[in-house]
Structure 1
Amino acid sequence: MTTAPSRQPQVRHPLFARIYPRINAFAEAHGALEHRRELLADAAGRIVEIGAGTGANFRRYPPQVEQVIAVEPEPRLRELAERAAAVASVPVEVRAGRAEELPVPDGSVDAAVASLVLCSIADVPRALAEAARVLRPGGRLYFYEHVRSTNPRFARKQRILNVVWPLLAGGCSLTRQTEQAITDVGFTIEQARHFDFLINGRTTPSSPCVIGVARKAGRPDSE
């Protein structure tokens, strides 16, 4: 059964939404652009992008992508995403909605993309269950996220900073265990690359990152 659209699709972070384009531009200048290209290189068919933000991914989708349904709850970021959709490399439709209640029918997309968004979603298990709901059998989840460090000392630093970090960064958490959350809802991780995202050779609290692909159970109709 298809989940109904959320009655409260908007999430407002007006200050963060104003500064995020600068943060993203800085990150892309130091490597995030290549990370986005790596994430999306094999994406194909019909895609739902969860928490599209400013639409930074739109021009990175390869030509085998038929359509992107980009879901974004924050009004200012959604406006920027709509502008980015107008010059995207593939057809993009921007929709208001939350990751926990995607405005997309059951089993209607070939892939879902979560790019630097699972850190800030309030209910990650529910959001990932929604991704599984809208994916066809055997569909893929492409994820690029910063995560909790496997280094105990660095992870402790992240836990301490996480007391105030979400308040300053639009709800972003430094301590998410994203791969565990993905497997907990039934996805199988097919590949994952872990790395530290260094800025001018230095770590930041959000440096530990992962880029990967997970598959929903079931066989694609084409197989």
Structure 2
Amino acid sequence: MGPAHIQPALRSRDDRLVSLYAPVFTAIYDPLLAWGERTGMRDLRRDVLSGATGEVLELGAGTGLNINAYPPTVASLTLTEPEASMVKRLQRLGGHPRVVQAGAEDLPFDENAFDTVVSTLVLCTVEDPDQALREVRRVLRPGGRLLLIEHVRSSRPRLARIQDRLHRPWRAIGYGCNCNRDTIEALRNAGFDTTALRDARWRRMPAIVRPLIAGSAQAA
């Protein structure tokens, strides 16, 4: 839902409004997600990120909710985040992760630079998910994995229709978040094996963003 990679819906129409909204969204993001974190999302983060190994890149790290979920198998951690207000928040966290201001569609790293790429609630918000996934494949080493938790278009027709109807207002409220994005299809189109992904639920959140996919995807 995206602080993780904020690409504001209003940017092209009113940059000034967006620039004013960005620090507000940064400040309220964690409280907005608090119920979901307490009722399962925090545990889901730890479960998925337990598979992170070696040199790790996190896309759209937002306020740093994943930081404490990384296991000792991580040799180094690089956090990317496009929004300046989020970058400042990450830099205040301390510790040793490297923080780089960058969007997922244009990663400033060499090919085959990372063993693991992490995306949690990011692909719902990027302007061009296909380009973002091409970049993930580019920076992943052979045999590397994409670990992800993403809310997605529902497989239930009735809820999917509701997601379609509420897409535009939700995108404005959620600062660019797309509640009806078919991320599984995007992953497959990008050449990722999705068989290790599983369905999950984002409890205590609005119904249109409750359907989740979680787990690992490997370049086929």
Which shows bigger deviation, 146-155 or 186-195? 186-195
1:192 alignment partner in structure 2: 197
Q: Is the 8 A contact 2:60 2:104 kept in 1?
A: yes
* 1:43-73, Cα deviation, whole Å (9 max, x unpaired): 1000110100011111110001011111001
**Offset, 1:83:** 2.2
**Offset, 1:190:** 4.0
Which shows bigger deviation, 17-26 or 168-177? 17-26
What is the correspondence of 1:115-126 to structure 2 with a 5 Å cutoff? 115-126=120-131
Q: In the alignment, which of 39, 52, 56 is matched to residue 43 of structure 1?
A: 52
**Offset, 1:205:** 1.5
What's the secondary structure of 1:70's corresponding residue? Answer: strand
What's the secondary structure of 1:161's corresponding residue? Answer: helix
Q: Is the 8 A contact 1:191 1:212 kept in 2?
A: yes
2:210 alignment partner in structure 1: 207
1:159 alignment partner in structure 2: 164
| Residue type at the aligned position of 2:148 | F
* Distance (whole Å) between structure 1 residues aligned to residue 195 and residue 145 of structure 2: 9
Q: Does 1:175 align with 2:205?
A: no
* Residue ranges of structure 2 left out of the alignment (5+ in a row): 1-17
2:107 alignment partner in structure 1: 102
What's the secondary structure of 1:205's corresponding residue? Answer: helix
What CA RMSD, in Å, does the superposition of the two structures yield over aligned residues?
1.6
Q: Is the 8 A contact 2:125 2:177 kept in 1?
A: yes
* Distance (whole Å) between structure 2 residues aligned to residue 123 and residue 204 of structure 1: 24
**Offset, 1:17:** 2.0
Q: Is the 8 A contact 1:148 1:176 kept in 2?
A: yes
Q: Is the 8 A contact 1:48 1:71 kept in 2?
A: yes
**Offset, 1:198:** 2.3
Which shows bigger deviation, 127-136 or 16-25? 16-25
Q: Does 1:19 align with 2:19?
A: no
| Residue type at the aligned position of 2:214 | I
* Distance (whole Å) between structure 2 residues aligned to residue 57 and residue 94 of structure 1: 14
* Distance (whole Å) between structure 1 residues aligned to residue 161 and residue 145 of structure 2: 32
How many residue pairs match? The answer is: 201
* Distance (whole Å) between structure 2 residues aligned to residue 157 and residue 208 of structure 1: 13
* Distance (whole Å) between structure 1 residues aligned to residue 79 and residue 142 of structure 2: 21
What's the secondary structure of 1:162's corresponding residue? Answer: helix
Q: Judging changes above 3 Å, is the alpha-carbon distance between structure 1 residues 75 and 15 closer, same or farther for their aligned structure 2 residues?
A: same
